[in-house]
Structure formats: structure tokens, C-alpha cells
Structure 1
């Protein structure tokens, strides 16, 4: 029996833009998910990044049960940066799918990607890792090669979210990348920042939304 597709598959990959309300929905879902995850007894400053991300993923799924937002929170998965890449060259932390985007584009790969990192403004190593192993995965096209925006979550291990953002910006300044600085935003009423990064042409720059979340036992996060 032939499956009656409404339209033939599109050639190539459509560039995925997200409407402002979708971006806000994702940021709100992250924060609602963390409010649930942060109450788990095993989420603390000694927990590993993978455990925190699993708790965040579970919390986001629970938050969406009573929501009208049509987001699907997928497991972490191996990914290919481009269709020409044969073997997976990355592993995304929290991929998201949206039914409307799939119906329009028939794109089976994630429609939005959340990359998660541990962070502390006073820890130069963690600030460097946030950039090199986080931001730069989007800037290089390893993640979200056909996405207009991406998302990052920072698990703040010490100090405040603002101090964490300042630490990331201090690293970017040290490596002469002031144009990549995180800027505070008011998209939602939480600790969120935005940055924009150039990519290899012909791709347009990618915008990154950053949510910096205080970990349990952290004062002032």
C-alpha cells in the first residue's frame, strides 16, 4: 500500500527560522523544567552534566503535559552536521521537534537544539569550555547547520547567573571575540542572554539564546 504523502519531499534542507513566540515557549519550558529538576535530591553541585541534563529533560517533558505548546523533547542523540556527512560527528544534548515545522519541511532532524554545560563565572576552564565546546559547535555548523537560532543552558555551580555570563564574556574578550559577547535579554522573565555568531559562508550568522540556571545548594544563583 502506498502512503499518501500530501507533498513530495523537498530537495535539500530548508533553513529553519523560529517565530519569537516559539523561542519564548522553548525558554519558558526550559525554566519550568528546571524548577522540577532542581528539586531532585541528586541534582547538586557534585552531580555530573549528564545527570543534570537528564533531569532537565524529564522536567521539560512534565512541564509540557499541561501546555498547549506542541514541542517534542527528544533523547540526546548522535547527529550529522550536514547531509553530506556519512557518520555522526556530534551528539546533541536536548533536541527539540515541532509538529508544524515537520509538516512544512519534512525535516526529520531536530528543529531546535539545546546544548548544556556546567559553568561558574570564577572558573576560567568552565568559561572556556562553555565557548569552545558549546557556542563554537553552533558557530562551526556542527550543530544547527540549517537553523537560524540555537539554545544553550548553563548549570551555574557557584556564584550567580550574571557572574557566569560575565565570566563567559571575559573569556571572549581575552581571545579577541568581543562581538560574540552575551547580552542580557527580556524575552522571558528569567535569566536569559543572547549572542550572535558568524558562520562559514554562505550560512547566515546564528543567534544563540542562553539560559543560566542555578544548581541546588548554590546561594544567589
Structure 2
């Protein structure tokens, strides 16, 4: 029996029209579809492809055992996630051993802050794995603001809101253009770091970029509203131009 293949398929920032032709073709012909989600949720990646997956496809939701319930620094956090990824990888590998292909849904690009990377590292030497790249969420976010992110010699820095506040502020102060991801509960810390770096009033926040419920606003005008997980902060570069 010929072994099957695992496809890590990037779905782009949220609008199905922004998916690649290859991603669309793989999805519409899929026999097995896997995707990550929180317990009790449908999963953002799964929502993006509603109506695109064949009715007879077997779906495999991979439910995180933990997200924000315990701190990242707790050894139990890594232990639980490691066991989770090991189990998911073993299941996908078993399907390929039965000759089945599996499409794994990935929000944005599979190799950019995505959960699929943890499966990829566990499977890359044990199964046939192909990664289908896609438009990143940050690209969808800065496009939503209506202004270019970089000009001329601008340096772009991508940060995650989970970093310590001093580290955030220092890195912000030494860049021209900025993207901050993984905002969520870190919003107040990120705001303070932006103020320290002198970027606060240039910052935009984009919620659910390129999705039907997209919101784009200046961060300074967003007040203290709760920011969902799917938010990205953008600071545009002001570099050289003709």
C-alpha cells in the first residue's frame, strides 16, 4: 500500500477568496481534514472553510488541552501541550500508513506562529509532509489599514505581546515599522510599551483582519474595550520615498 501524505494548508488571513488555488483544490478533494480548536468551539480555521469541504470527508478536531488557564512558565503547560501534539501527530501518521491523505487547516501561513509547526517537527522525518504557504494574518491586517507598512529602507519588526514589557519597549524603539501579534490579555502591557517607545499615537489595531467582522481603528481611540485574540497592532514605517 502506498503511504498517504499530510498537507499543512495555509488558509490566509480569513477571507476564503484570499486562499491559494492549491489550497482550494486540496480542500475540495479532501478525504480527511484536521484542525485545531479550543474545547467547545468550532475553531477559527474550520469556520474559514465552511462549505468548501466535501460532505463525506472525515473531520478530526484537535482540541487544545490548555490555552491560558495556566502560565506559560509553568512546566505543566509544556508537558500538556507536548503530549497533545504527540498524540495528534501519531493519529495523522496512522492515517498515512493506511494510504490516506490528510489536510491540516492552518490559519494564516503554516510556518508563521502556527500550531501546525509543532506537528511538522514531529512528522517531517516520519511521514510525507507538504506545506502549502499562504498570506499571513499580519499582511491582511496592514492592508486593512489602507496604508503601506514599509517604505524605502524601513526595517520591519514583528513582536509578540507575550514578551516582557521592557523587552517590548526596547525592541519597538529600535525599529521603523512594527507588527505586534498575540495581543489578547497583553493589551495593557503592549500599550504601555508603545507609549514608552513613542509609537502609541501612530499605532492601529485590526481585529479579525480580512474576516466579515473586521474592525480597524487607531489604538488611541479604541479606549479600554476588550480585545479579542484575533487582533494585530500595526505601526507604519515613515521611510524614504520619491
TM-score by length of 1: 0.33
TM-score by length of 2: 0.31
